[in-house]
Structures are given as C-alpha cells and as structure tokens.
Amino acid sequence: MWSKAQDDCLQVDAVFLDFAKAFDRVNHKILLHKLCNFGIVGSLLAWCGDYLSCRKQRVVVDGKSSSWLNITSGVPQGSILGPLFFVIFISDLSEVVQEGSVALYADDCKACRVPRPAIMSLTEENWQTTRPTIKERAKFVFNNDRFSDVKFVVRKMDGESEKKQVIPAHKLVLSISSPVFEAMFYGELPETRDSIELPDCDYESLLELFRYMYSDEVCLNGSNVMRVLYLAKKYMMPSLAERCSEYLQENLDPSNVFSILPAAQKYQEKDLTQRCWKVIAEKTREALKTDDFATLQRSLLNEVIIRDKLTIEEIDLFKAVDLWATEECVRQGLEANGDTKRTILGEEIVKAIRFPTMKVEDFSSAVLDSDILTKQEIISIIKYLNSITKSVEGFSTVKRFGEIKRSCRLGLKSDNPWSYPTRRDCINVSVDRDVSLHAISFFGKENHTYPVTLELIDNTSNLVMTSKTASFPTELLQCEKCSYYGFEVYFDKQITIKKNTSYAISALISGPPSCQGIGCVGSIQCAGVTFTFTNNESSTNGTSAMCGQFPEFLFSLI
C-alpha cells in the first residue's frame, strides 16, 4: 500500500522507531502473559518462566571479574529463544495503531499510514466490483467509517487502564439483524444522536456482535463468549446466542462448569444448562475443587446438594460444603463457627447432606468437629450407623448413585433410516444382579428434537414402574462401539432393577428418521452384570433383541 501510494504521489506518514535497550527491558510477567495468550500453557509455560528467571551476569576484563548482578528483566541475547520472545512481546504493537499499519523487525519498527482521504481514493475505488456477494460487501463496511451513520462509544481495556473506543456502524445493517436496533432507529421515538454511548458494553464483545450482523461470522474465545452471549440476548439475536451456547458446550469441563452454569440458567439456555448438570454429575469431585464452586450463590449450591446423581463420596461432598460455608463467613466478616455456618447454609442444604450414608469413621473424624449438626442429630445418625435404628429423621439414608456404567447392546450402527410412524418400539431386559437403572439412550438425527414417552414395565405384575414424557434435543454420544447422534432419557428417580426379573422398555417416539442399531446381541456383560435382551410382542415399530432402538442402558451398581 505504501509503495503504491508513493507511486501515486499521495501523502504517506511514517514513523521509524528503535527500542532503546530493547532486549534488556522485556518485562517477564507481561511476556509470560502474552505467551499464555498465544496458547503456550501448562508445563511448557512453566519451562519458559524457569528459562527467564534466576539469571545472573558479570563482566570479565583482563581476567578480572565483576560481582554477579541479578537479571530481573529482558531476554537472553545470543540465543534462539531470545529474539523469538522479543518478537512475541512486541507483536501486539500493531493493535495500538488504529489507522495505518506497523512493520516489525526485531527492535526496529516502522509505523506508516496513508491519510484517510488519500487511502479512500487508493484502496476503495470500485471496491464493489471485487466483492460479488452481499456478504463480502457487507463485511467490507464492517467497522468502517464509509457510509457510517451512527457511532457507538464503549469501554476498552488498555493494559490496566480503561479508555473509550468508537465503533462506526450502519443503522440499516443493525436494524435488519436485531428488532431492538430496529425499534431504536426506526421506531416511534427513533434515536437521533450520531454518537451513542453503551456503558454496559465493552469494545471486544460489541465488535463481535457487529461482526456477526455484517458477516454471519463471530470470533469467540474464553474471555468474550459470556459477554457476547449477554449482547445476543439483549439485542434479541437467537442465532448468535446459539453459537455462543455451542462454543460453551464444546469447551465445557469441570474447571469451568460452575462459571458457565449460572449464565446458562440466567439466559435460559436449556441445552447448555443440561450439559452443565451432566458434567457436574459425572465429574463432581473435580468440579467441587474449583474456585468457582467456593463462590457459588447459595441457591445454586442447594441445587447441587439435592441431586441424586453425584460422583463423589458423601464425606467429600460434606467437606466441600463446609469449606463453602467457611469461605462465606469470611466474605461476610463473620466468625466461622458451627452455628454461623449452619445459619449461612440453611436447613435445606444441611438436611440434603446424606450423613447416614457415610462411614462411621468418616462421620466421627470430619463431621463432628465441624459443629454443624445438633447433639440430637449426631446421636440419631450414630445410632443408625451402628445399626441400632433403621432410619434417621430428616436425613436421607439412600446413597447417591455414583459412577454410571453404560451397557451397550449395539453391534453395528446402520444409517438406513429408522422411521417413527406413531408405533411403539419395545424390548425386554433382565439382569443377573440388582442394579439401579438411571437412563436409556435413543438414536436420533443431528440438530433435531424428539418428543418421547418412555415406560418401564414389570412383566411379572404388568405394572408401570416409572414413565417419562418430554422432548429431547440430540447430541453426539459415544459408546464403546461407535459414536452416534441421539439423546439420553433419564428417569426422575433411580429405579431398582431386580435380578432375574423381566422388564419391558416401551417407547413412543416422534421425529424424523434416525439411524438404527443392527447386529445387536441377546446377552452382554458390563461391570460384572449380565444384561439379557428378548423380543417384546408389543413392539410394532420393529425394535427387537437384534436391531432397532435403545442402544445403551445407563446403570450403577448397588
């Protein structure tokens, strides 16, 4: 651009910089932060920190040495990594230059710009002719002053300080993307100001909102996705909210689940909320060790504690709750004694902890010292733990079901369509030892939702033990044989399946054709339990012991 501007006799402004003592002044803390942003994390980042730290230097002249001097900044010169670290350290310099561009070569820097009237004539003449699609043309004017008829002023962080940043926009593009902007600019009381300040928005997230409006593209990352989701909800853009939800689901794990779940509930993202609860249920121990758990709202803590499905020992769950109460006392400036912690937790949370399912030694060593329980409660629980009584008033004696096993009866997955013309899919199942049945998986089609009525029937008494009617979105599920799109139907409570008893699984499914299981086996063993499947005469849609629906049964040992 600069060369062509000079050839066209246009004005070119240039600044040539040379960083004084450049390699010696690199701040190690800032450099490591930037390395982390480039994806260098974990042990590799720690190695880089060790490489930079604890370095000394001295001068040797005619065989005489000076004293050693600790090096607290800079990168080693004469090494391969030194120049690389320095380039990474200054690589974001170009982001500071709003108009123009920057060329970097080690510690030499050249910043150039062609003033706007000149650059408009140079680079934007007949720009429409090189962009054949409306998306390309709209993308060209994104964050561009050309044709802009409104500007937004938002916050932007500059290191540790905050400044104001202007984003140019176009009322028409914003209005055809969001009913909120349509009402703002073309409603009964239209906004007439040329510059609008949005105090609840920051530069990065608003820019991504506008990028999506102009191009159907969005650049999400861990630092902006929550704020972009907030803006998508505020400006009524469900497709962008769905993109944010999908990103969060893809990156969901025990380390961040308690930071994502409150937002998922607040913005009523049902699929994301369901995935969060699934992670908490399957990775409880890891999730409860995070800093986010220690700062949960009490209402959400209560939702966690009352759940039946948690993969953690009850004593460890209690310790996590006790730590939460202690931290909350500190936050409120209160003494963390037993009475105060119980008041902060509330009776519902205390009663939801299943003390009677603990081991006697765990209860004695950890719970008694916390002073959360009353003397009468302690006596009642100890009597139960020593088999003197058969129940404890106010506390559940039923163990939470922990690790869930997946019994897969699938031989192969076939993409031949399995249709659902208002007929039942049924199969009989029996086991050779008592188990708790939690859920049954179904085949489905990607990006679809299936209304299902599922029944579990005792074939001996012909009684319906439990039923579930709801609609379920599909997700990618993984079994031991293959992956498939489907959904899992969890019963509202754990169901005990007695050994050597025949049960019927009956489902009425609505929705588009899905894949199906073929080559299924009549008997399989999983976690020491033998599952036996037989045909059910009520199956009018074709499911049998050899093919059809119900690829997996989710259970836990008793």
What is d(CA 281, CA 437) in angstroms, rounded to the nearest whole number? 15
Q: Which amino acid is at 325?
A: A
Predicted confidence (pLDDT) at residue 121 exceeds the cutoff of 80 = no
- pLDDT tens profile 330-344: 999 999 999 999 999
Q: Which amino acid is at 51?
A: Y
Please state, as a whole number, how many other Cβ atoms lie within 10 Å of the Cβ of residue 170: 20
Q: Tell me the domains of the chain and their CATH numbers.
A: 1-113 (no CATH), 128-249 (3.30.710.10), 261-386 (1.25.40), 405-557 (2.60.120.820)
**What b/e sequence results for 404-436 when a residue is b if at least 16 CB atoms lie within 10 Å of its CB, and e otherwise?**
bbbbbbbbebeeeebebeeebbbbbbbbeeebb
Q: Percentage helix, strand, coil, to 5, in the chain?
A: 35, 25, 35
The answer to whether the CB of 203 falls within 8 A of the CB of 158 is no
pLDDT score at 122: 43
DSSP string computed for 304-318: HHT-SB--S-HHHHH
What is d(CA 497, CA 495) in angstroms, rounded to the nearest whole number? 6
Structure tokens at 320: 């996590």
Confidence grade of residue 486 (pLDDT, cut at 50, 70, 90) = very high
Please state, as a whole number, how many other Cβ atoms lie within 10 Å of the Cβ of residue 517: 26
- pLDDT tens profile 175-221: 999 999 999 999 999 998 999 999 999 999 999 999 999 999 999 99
Confidence grade of residue 115 (pLDDT, cut at 50, 70, 90) = low
Which has more pLDDT, 136 or 77? 136
| SS3 labels along 75-98 | CCCCCCHHHHHHHHHHCCHHHHCC
What does the DSSP 8-state code read for residue 365?
I
**What b/e sequence results for 440-474 when a residue is b if at least 16 CB atoms lie within 10 Å of its CB, and e otherwise?**
bbbbbbeeebbebebbbbeeeeeeebeebeeebeb
0.75 cut: is pTM over it?
A: no
- Picking from 243-247, 493-497, 524-528, which range would have the lowest pLDDT averaged per residue? 493-497
What is d(CA 90, CA 110) in angstroms, rounded to the nearest whole number? 13
Assign residue 298 a region (left: φ > 0; alpha: ψ between -120 and 50; beta: otherwise).
Answer: alpha
> Which residues neighbour 513 within 8 Å (Cβ) at sequence distance 6 or greater?
417, 418, 419, 420, 445
- pLDDT tens profile 41-72: 677 877 777 777 777 778 888 878 887 777 77
The answer to whether the CB of 466 falls within 8 A of the CB of 491 is yes
What is d(CA 35, CA 43) in angstroms, rounded to the nearest whole number? 12
